[in-house]
Structure 1
Amino acid sequence: MKYIMDREIQIFTEIWLTAIVTLIFCHQIAARIPSGAARLLSLLPIIYLFTTLPLRLSSFHLAAPTIFYLVWLGNFKLLLFSFNQGPLSTSPPLSLLHFISIALLPIKTKQTPISPKPPSSDKKAFHPIIIFLLKFCLIAVIISLEKYREFIHPYLILALYCCHAYLGAELVLAVTAVPVRAVLGLELEPQFDEPYLATSLQDFWGRRWNLMVTSILRPTVYDPVRRVSTRILGRRWALPAAVMATFVVSGLMHEVFYYYVTRVAPTWEVTWFFVLHGFCVAVEVGVKKAWCGCWGLRPAVSRPLTVGFVAVTGGWLYFPQGIRSGLDVKAINEYSILVGFIRDRLPVNASSLVL
């Protein structure tokens, strides 16, 4: 087991070093090629590498962020860069370190300058750290409970999986942003914004849940589809078409993610989960327009309804594919392997501290 983890770490390091080298090419050479088909052609080998390199990994906890960062976000950012759009195309051009960081990591720099905080806000600045530690402790408790899932009601297990998916994604993305803030001093947009407080599905998917995906799907899918649909279908149907296209692409990318981590042929349940939510969001937006934006529901009612709908449909369509493939068991078992791997490499052995 120790050899397997050592080998996984080696492959993980090779993948990320390769990605960094290819982005040096993008920054130094591809950026000088005129945008459009010529630049896209020059970037196709990089997109191919980003798509295939994560297939070498078998560990869920190393493969999952690598797939998300390279296969999805990285490739979509390169596609935008091909046409001189997106976060990699700025005026003046990004420095090499900024270019690599934004291309490889799920971060988005704030567009407006941040004014210095007054001294009295120091106490508030400590608040996110407390929240982070609480969420870290909560996910540790959830992982401990999941080990005894055979003794827990299936509905409670699904609730734990929902919390696990949210907390795991938020904590991984937050930890990823820490070195960027420390080394580059960038002010970054939040990656999540308390999705459990969402008052509608539009609020949940558009303003609170995994905002890095939202920020990359808007220019790559939503905006182009809405422009084309406006010309073909008219303004009335352009927005629903753009919403549905965005959710379909998100569903397909989640299917790709599932395939990479399970190596099992897709059953398309995950895609249907996003198709259902895309349809519901499109209907919700249409109802809001008809009612002039007035829902008539108080947050005390709309929040549990929204989160409950996401959780129930997630348990119905999103999680079963991973559970059938044993992905949940694999992920839980890997925690103890990772803990042992880290413990064996600590400079001071814990047993030597016992007097």
Structure 2
Amino acid sequence: MDEELKIFIKVWVSAIISVTYCYFISSRIKTGVLRLLSIIPVCALFFILPLFLALMNHILFTSLFLTILASFKLILFAFDQGPLFHLPSNLTRFICFTCLPIKLQQNPNSQNLVPKWVFGIKVAIYSLLLNFYCDNHNLPRVLRIGLRPVHMYLEFEIFLALIKFLVTITLGCDLEPQFNEPYLATSLQDFWGRRWNLMVSSNLRFAFHEIIHFYLTRDAPSWELTAYFVLNGVCTVVEMAVKRTKFGMRWQLRPVVSWLLTWGFIVSTGAFLFFDPLQYDRYDIRLT
């Protein structure tokens, strides 16, 4: 564990040094191909860094923050696009907006305020799940897969909320939320378009799941994961088309029924096509 922590620190120190190079050197190079060429080695390094890690949580967050989001932001920055343009006023801001899944809030008044006690309940449920995993190593596989979506969501939600809180205090700016209470979704369009992982959705959509699958398993991308997102994408399009028909406008489901159908579909397809191929059982000990 101590050795893993040392490696994790070295990985992120390397990332910060690389981003510092982009701030002082690449930003002075003319926009376009030349700046992109100066940034490509950094992006290549970000693809390699997660391979040095063994702990599941370290792999997940490092691959998401550096390999996917940071690389994509830097590529956009090469052409004066994306969240890094205009160039942040100081190095600290540049590092934060490059390496972390944060974005300046465009319209603070439009944000739905969630009571603070809701976050407290999420932390309590997450703690119970961790203790549950630690005390029950021989849980049935079906139960593990069924609990995994809840565990994954709460872990991301809590960790990203902590990052948002610290960055807001450090930089003194309002940031966009990463999630919008996805468990309240009453349709696939509502879930994928307005509630789930908003930062990644606005940048890369579904590509990052296949990359994270590779870092976790060290195997080639799984067609089951691709099938999961293709199926959800097709069903979302069909759902939107049906809503626009006369039948869809006249016959509307009650919110409770719509919620049950939405989550029944997401959980059932996710269990067989998303979480089962990832074989999370291999990572339970490292995760807890």
| TM above 0.5 | yes
Q: Give the equivalent residue in structure 1 for 2:166.
A: 179
Aligned-pair CA distance for 1:53:
1.1
Q: 1:276: which partner in 2?
A: 231
- Write the deviation string for residues 205-225 of structure 1: whole angstroms up to 9, x where unpaired: 1110111111223xxxxxxxx
1-side partners of 2:131 and 2:153: how far apart? 16
Residue number among 82, 88, 95 corresponding to 2:90 in the alignment = 95
Identity %: 44
Q: 1-side partners of 2:177 and 2:227: how far apart? A: 28
* 1:235 counterpart residue number: none
Which residue of the partner structure matches residue 216 of structure 1?
A: 203
**Aligned counterpart, 1:258:** 213
Q: What corresponds to 2:265 in structure 1? A: 309
Gaps of 5+ in 1: 116-123, 218-245, 336-355
* Equivalent-residue separation in structure 1 for 2:29 and 2:65 (angstroms): 25
Compared CA separation, residues 35 and 280, structure 1 to 2 (3 A): farther
Code of the residue aligned with 2:275 in structure 1: it is F
In the superposition, relative to structure 1, how do residues 178 and 28 fare at CA in structure 2: closer, same or farther (>3 Å)?
same
Structure 2 residue ranges without an equivalent (≥5): none
> What residue number does 2:283 align with?
330
Instruction: Out of 45-54 and 137-146, give the one that drifted further.
Output: 137-146
Cα separation, 2, equivalents of 1:210 and 1:81: 22
| 1:139-166 superposed Cα distances (whole Å, 9 cap, x missing partner) | 12223333426455x5443321121111
CA distance in 2, matches of 1:157, 1:253: 23
Does the aligned pair in 2 maintain the 1:61–1:331 contact within 8 Å?
no
Give the TM-score of the pair, scaled to structure 2: 0.90
| Aligned positions of 1:19-168 closer than 5 A | 19-90=15-86, 93-112=88-107, 127-128=115-116, 130-147=117-134, 148=136, 150-152=138-140, 154-168=141-155
CA RMSD of aligned residues (A): 2.3
Change over 3 Å in CA distance of 1:207–1:167 after alignment to 2:
same
CA contact (8 A) 1:88 1:94 kept: no
Distance apart, 1:302 and its partner CA:
1.2
Alignment deviations for residues 245-273 of structure 1 (CA, whole Å, 9 cap, x no partner): x5xxx1x4312211212223333211111
Whole-angstrom distance in 1 between the partners of 2:41 and 2:243: 45
**CA deviations over 1:91-150 (Å, ceiling 9, x no partner):** x644221111011001111013669xxxxxxxx88x32x222221221122233334264
Q: Is the 8 A contact 2:32 2:79 kept in 1?
A: yes
Larger-gyration structure (1/2): 1
Asked if structure 1 preserves the Cα contact closer than 8 Å seen for 2:160 and 2:178, the reply is yes
CA contact (8 A) 1:200 1:302 kept: yes
Q: 1:304-341: CA deviations, max 9, x gaps?
A: 21122111100110011122xxx334234542xxxxxx
2: CA distance between counterparts of 1:334 and 1:301?
Answer: 34
Aligned mates of 2:130, 2:147 — CA distance in 1 = 9
Highest RCO, 1 vs 2 (Cα 8 Å, sep ≥ 6): 2
